[in-house]
Chains A and B, each alone.
Chain A
Amino acid sequence: MNQQITTRIGADKGVVKRDFRSRPWAATLILVGGLALLVLGIAVSVSFGAADIKLSVVWSAVFNFNPEIMDHQIIRELRLPRVLGGAMIGASFAVAGAIMQGMTRNPLADSGLMGINSGAGFALALCFAFFPNLSFMYLILYSFLGAGVGAGVVYGIGSLAKGGLTPARLVLAGAAFSALLSALSEGVALYFHIGQDLAFWYAGGVAGTKWIQLKIMFPWIGAALLGAMVISRSITMLSLGDDVAKGLGQRTGLVKLAGALIVLVLAGSSVAVVGAVGFIGLIIPHLTRFFVGVDYRWIIPCSAILGSLLAVFADLTARMINPPNETPLGAIIALIGVPFFLYLARKERREL
């Protein structure tokens, strides 16, 4: 992947250079620097809040826990799961987005835009309404199921269209299907009087994350992230086009299936924990590709780091804007995501 190829596209509008290089040094920098920054962010996030706690206390709470100290309790039970949950979902949304964009070669692919989040959301609304005492484990499983159905319908309808599956069409199908699902969720919520629960969930936030959720979620997300690394090379090939991938001897169907499963696990379990946070999967992979080039062996781990960073710092911002009230994480990220989406929609010249 290290050859330097620059192509010229769109000769009518001057030269547009498209860079096909991979930049391992930039990727390494992101991995190391990003990890350091992430640790810093987590530390700041833990110490900042309604009760400001000194970093030294944070340190001792983690490594020298004493249940009789109030601050230690706050850190252990409230702040640590929250910030770790944020880091985890940031990484998984970002990697899910990277895989989707790579596999479908669709620059607008994102779990929020393609019906996956709202599918999971609808499944959860049904769970809240009909089985209010369901354990979190089953909640996650139903959320996977909903995510799968959502993605299947949107993708299916998008590809039924004459002229194939264009990025814009996928977004429109996603928007319409999400509108349908959220109408249904709202109906369920109004009927069963679970409106405000669901509204908090829709707003998307890490405030209520508990250890038990993290414990259940971690194996799934960990395994899916590992899986993403395993198929990363194949995704690079797919991102060059199906024909190229086949020509290079790849079993594209198998890779796509594996990729789809990984995306559903990543997005489905994240949605179950924090709700409908969109746009992380859209922004981060673009940013990452800009820095590290086209090799998904680098894109996937770097996306994970940058996604965590975005979620952790967005959550920090969400708490700082108007304390002690919290602004929903989903809203903060939409605030960054919408202009970025607009920029992409303007920039894309093909098909859009």
Chain B
Amino acid sequence: MEKTTFSTFEASKNKRGFITMISLAVLIVIAFIISMNTGYIRLTPMELLNTIFGKGTDKQELILFQFRLPRIVISVLIGAGLAVSGAVMQGVFRNALADPGILGINAGAGIMVMLLISFYPTATAAPVYLLPMVAFVGAGVTAALIYALAYKRHQGISPMRLLLTGVAVAAGMSAAMIVLTLRLDPEKYQFVATWLAGSIWGTSWKFVLSLLPWILILVPYVIYKARVMNVLNLGEQTAVGLGAAVTKEQFRLLAAAVGLAAASVAVSGGIGFVGLVGPHLARRLVGPKHQLMLPTSALLGALLVITADTIGRWILQPSEIPTGIVVAVIGAPYFLYLLARTKS
């Protein structure tokens, strides 16, 4: 008797999860369409439709296919990547406030990207496919550094110490970054400043291609590991008791999270808070089960970034606000709200 109630409960949860995900997907499609419409040159829905089916003018095609579409696709990809990365970090560290931005991992990736840019003749010539790799190295080294600095013998990693260490390392990184910025010539400076503010700057299909494999491999991998994450969530000792190879799994998951964050940061710069907001809302909507929570986070992250990017292009036309700023304006108050609500 009890077993049946439990399974109906589970089934209803799964059903709710699916409904949530489908609604989110619909919302993303709507945002996608609105976003295609938004910008300095407006396209009416009819023109848009015509252009999509190849009947638009050359100019309309150029705008849609060469500028807007790649940008929108990129914002979907990085939104998903950052949100899943945050979800994994929150799961592995069992800390509700973990996020690649707050932990200083974005800064680590950023500094490497900036080094690459400052040693390359011009900004545009920087090899696109190299950027995620370089960012990955930076993010990985930073993650390892933060982990090592926060680790204490006999006590392991305390969540708060980890966050504080992340904050400190991020402060150090941004100091180093400022030193580097001031040495750049004005042209590169403008590029770096926009990059740091979290502008989706890689607006061509090349960047989509350089980002796609990372997201397409790592997001499904993490979702595939959802059961392991559920077990890890029960606490280290329980997880070991249930037969999980805790350290190994933690390491793999973290590597995936770092990869996702790094690839996203390489094309989007300093977009923070997505990794925090996405998973939290997801948990609220579909509960803590990672099979549901991870895909929902991905969808929410994508929706958040695509919306922020559209808002940023729309508010101050003809100039645009970097996406990262819009996300911070939405995300930081939410973080503060969470901080005020969590118990120590």
Contacts and interface: CB of A to CB of B under 8 A. Distances in A.
Interface string B188-208: 011001101110000000000
A144 interface: no
B164 A190 contact: no
A352 interface: yes
A160 B273 CA distance: 21
Contacts of A172: 97, 102, 163, 167, 339
A275 B333 CA distance: 25
B341 A162 contact: yes
Interface in A188-235: 189-191, 195-196, 199-200, 202-203
Nearest to A153: B336
B332 interface: yes
Q: How many interface residues does chain A have, given as a range?
A: 35 or more
B102 A160 contact: no
A327 interface: yes
A349 to B, nearest CB: 9
Contact of A176 (B165, B181, B325, B339): B339
B246 interface: no
A166 B332 contact: no
Contact of A335 (B172, B190, B193, B332): B172
A179 B344 contact: no
Given A172-B97, A195-B190, A352-B164, A157 B340 contact: yes
Contacts of B322: 186-187, 190
Query: Which interface residue of B101, B168, B194 has the most chain A CB atoms within 10 A?
Result: B168
A123 B157 CA distance: 38
A264 interface: no
A345 B161 contact: yes
A55 interface: no
B182 A346 contact: no
Contacts of A163: 343-344
Contacts of B190: 195
A202 B102 contact: no
Interface string A146-169: 000000000001101111001011
Interface in B6-27: none
B112 interface: no
Interface string A294-315: 0000000000000000000000
Interface string A169-180: 101110111011
A330 B336 CA distance: 26
A195 B181 CA distance: 11
Given A161-B339, A187-B325, A331-B175, A171 B167 contact: yes
Contact of B168 (A177, A203, A338): A338
A335 B171 CA distance: 9
A161 B178 contact: no
B178 A331 contact: yes
A160 to B, nearest CB: 4
Given A278-B171, A328-B178, A331-B175, A173 B329 contact: no
B46 interface: no
The 10 closest A-B pairs by CB, nearest first: A180-B332, A183-B328, A334-B175, A338-B172, A345-B164, A160-B340, A331-B175, A187-B325, A163-B344, A186-B197
21 contacts: A108-B164, A161-B339, A168-B160, A172-B167, A176-B332, A176-B335, A179-B101, A180-B329, A180-B333, A183-B329, A186-B193, A186-B197, A189-B193, A190-B194, A190-B321, A327-B179, A334-B175, A335-B172, A341-B171, A342-B169, A345-B168
Interface of A: 108, 157-158, 160-163, 166, 168-169, 171-173, 175-177, 179-180, 183-184, 186-187, 189-191, 195-196, 199-200, 202-203, 278, 325, 327-328, 330-331, 334-335, 337-338, 341-342, 345-346, 351-352
Given A175-B102, A328-B179, 4 more contacts: A172-B102, A327-B179, A346-B161, A352-B164
